[in-house]
């Protein structure tokens, strides 16, 4: 599943329930930004999910992988359900130290080189901000959901959420460069609606290393 799963996005959303099924939600996302520049990558990081008012406990996904290569994480946004294990593999010929301070999903993998890496099982729903303790410019997100109803966008920005429970719940559009957009919807057919948001965040988010201190340049470290 593509991570979705960037704060103020230009989301233009047109949402409607499919005529054949009241439990299908369909829509389309478009992006704008304060400087007028967007790219397909901005769309790729968007997650759409539905959380019923009566919780439905999701199954854990099969093992997922987040790879470090070229001093970056791939995927940039990874969406999983609670209980899913994520492997952090190092495809670079240099050392990395993956960590997160996002409690209660915080972790510290320690320093390791090229190879299969280490793994973490995420048991609590929430947003996990992932960094490298060696390279300040490396960052990614893991969105841990307590609902099985989520999807990625197609290349044209459209999406389908199918076979949802015919019950009220909250529809959420998430992108790490925007505040999450949320709307409570009732069971049954939904009248189409539109909304517009604008991307305002860019670049590496401000953060400290795993010790809560500023990063150093590590001159001559070989990293």
Dihedral pair phi/psi, residue 43, rounded to 5°:
-65, -40
Record the pTM: 0.85
The pLDDT value recorded for residue 208 is: 95
Name the pairing type of β-strands 115-122 and 84-90.
Answer: antiparallel
Per-position b or e across 186-198, b if 16+ CB within 10 A of its CB: ebeebeeeeeebb
**Which CA distances in Å does 177 have to 34, 133, 134, 145, 203?**
12, 22, 23, 19, 10
The pLDDT value recorded for residue 103 is: 96
- pLDDT per residue of the chain (223 residues) written in tens, 0 to 9: 444 333 333 333 334 333 334 478 888 888 778 776 677 777 888 899 999 999 888 999 999 999 999 999 999 999 999 999 999 999 999 999 999 999 999 999 999 999 988 999 999 999 999 999 999 999 999 999 999 999 998 888 888 888 888 899 999 989 888 878 898 988 766 654 556 657 777 789 999 999 999 998 644 344 5
SS3 41: helix
Architecture of domain 57-146: Sandwich (2.60)
């Amino acid at each position: 599943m593509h991570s979705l799963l960037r704060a103020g996005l230009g989301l233009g959303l047109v949402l409607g329930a499919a005529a054949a099924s009241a439990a299908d939600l369909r829509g389309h996302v478009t992006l704008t930004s304060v400087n007028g520049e967007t790219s397909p990558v901005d769309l790729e990081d968007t997650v759409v999910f539905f959380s019923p008012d009566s919780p439905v406990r999701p199954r854990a996904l099969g093992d997922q992988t987040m790879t470090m290569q070229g001093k970056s994480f791939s995927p940039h946004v990874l969406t999983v359900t609670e209980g899913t294990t994520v492997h952090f593999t190092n495809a670079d010929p240099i050392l990395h130290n993956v960590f997160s301070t996002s409690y209660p999903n915080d972790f510290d993998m320690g320093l390791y080189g090229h190879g299969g890496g280490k793994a973490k099982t995420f048991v609590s729903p929430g947003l996990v901000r992932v960094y490298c303790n060696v390279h300040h410019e490396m960052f990614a997100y893991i969105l841990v959901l307590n609902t099985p109803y989520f999807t990625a966008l197609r290349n044209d920005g459209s999406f389908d959420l199918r076979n949802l429970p015919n019950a009220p719940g909250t529809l959420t559009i998430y992108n790490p460069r925007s505040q999450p957009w949320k709307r409570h919807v009732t069971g049954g057919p939904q009248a189409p609606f539109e909304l517009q948001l604008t991307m305002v965040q860019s670049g590496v988010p401000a953060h400290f290393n795993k010790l809560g201190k500023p990063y150093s340049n590590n001159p001559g470290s070989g990293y």
